Structure 1
């Protein structure tokens, strides 16, 4: 084993779906830095182009993952993939009694159904080649919830189980499936919270590190799971939450 190349991705082709901003953009930067040939797929073509510019390499694919036919066509155009990282997601923060079916369907479609379409499109080709790594971004909300997170939490818990099942089904062919579960990360998805100082600070205080994550602090988890450093890691969840799920709800007594 040449440990100097354990995390290198030279000669590997990886698609990042949702790479136009936020966590996806940082994942692209990390993969390119390790030598990967990266396809940046996103509905936001301009944002994807900016990601490629910042990373210094890569190609852009304009893609709406809610269009299953377009997704399958795009995957065919990418050619053989060694890795797929999916960061797309949406949230509508409402109590269950106030949710409309359209809102529920919108969250489930982007957070879960789109992953199914991508896995179905990518996994068979990886299986034929006997290797590949798929990384989906779930959330700590798959395990720990609060009022207003019903649809989002359900979709992320479903994603974890979808990826675990895929790991079981394609594992014998050498394809790995894992989830990353972030805690609170400052991205456009959390603008609503950042606009409320009390809410923002409460979230910061809930983790062991007592701060929010930066988007770039999630990139290493994805790069690791795609790399040869994780060749025996599949069907698992890598939690990157600053210790939130370890210490949430704690009381610190005077001892």
Structure 2
């Protein structure tokens, strides 16, 4: 019988983590390294610190310059780092406004990073994985891909779009051995949610919406990322993995101040 004790091992793998400077990306980079992967830490700020932290823990890591908003930067990075086995993309921005108040410029800014940034990454690294005959792409969608609240229209649209792009690429590259999946967080304690944390009523409303009664910590996404990066998920592709503390399993609503 097969020995399953090593199915989560990432020994000999190289992972590129975009957004490794903080939040979920930072935690994912550390987790992938702990399971044996060489990690390329990419971000516009903080990537060097994450790479140094991994090295101090005995892992293999280096920081790379990559700007998701710049197609040339992505192509140049791909040329420098060569083949990667795992791509993780976590960065997002948000503009909390009712749709009737969103300007074209604000819409474009959110779309450009959250959706087009992921498209740029998938286009370059997906092609390289296709050529090498395998790989795992892990994008971050959100519960907002399926449930929404006032002020989240544009952000939610990008997260639904990210999910559908992941599913489409999974269908296009499956025969080439490339798997593509989307993780959907609920509310997570990261810099993106600072505005909510600053409002006690809003913070508690989000905590109580989860059936676990609390927010998630970035470290709680290491398990899902390692799973999707490893052979443990060898037959998982095109999936929408909810990591939301039961948020979407229970009913309820809070209208935040905008």
Does TM, normalized by the shorter one, top 0.5? yes
TM range (shorter): over 0.9
Give the corresponding residue for 1:190: 193
Give the corresponding residue for 2:20: 19
Give the corresponding residue for 1:52: 51
1:179-199 CA distance string (max 9 Å, x none):
000000000000000000000
Q: Give the ranges of 4+ consecutive aligned residues of structure 1 lying more than 4 Å apart after TM superposition.
A: none
1:218 to 202, 218, 221: 221
1:93-128 CA distance string (max 9 Å, x none):
000011111111010111000111111101122112
| Counterpart contact for 1:9–1:35, Cα < 8 Å | yes
2-side partners of 1:121 and 1:67: how far apart?
A: 12
Q: Secondary structure at the match of 2:5?
A: helix
Give the corresponding residue for 1:126: 129
2-side partners of 1:71 and 1:198: how far apart?
A: 41
Unaligned runs of 5+ in 2: 254-258
> Which residues of 2 match residues 100-139 of structure 1 at below 5 A?
100-139=103-142
2-side partners of 1:76 and 1:159: how far apart?
A: 25
1-side partners of 2:144 and 2:128: how far apart?
A: 31
Q: Secondary structure at the match of 1:222?
A: helix
Q: Secondary structure at the match of 2:164?
A: helix
Give the corresponding residue for 2:256: none
Structure 1 position 208, deviation (Å): 0.6
> What TM-score results when the alignment is normalised by the length of structure 2?
0.94
> Which residues of 2 match residues 1-255 of structure 1 at below 5 A?
1-44=2-45, 47-56=46-55, 57-249=60-252
1-side partners of 2:149 and 2:54: how far apart?
A: 36
When the two chains are superposed, the root-mean-square deviation of aligned CA atoms in Å is 1.0
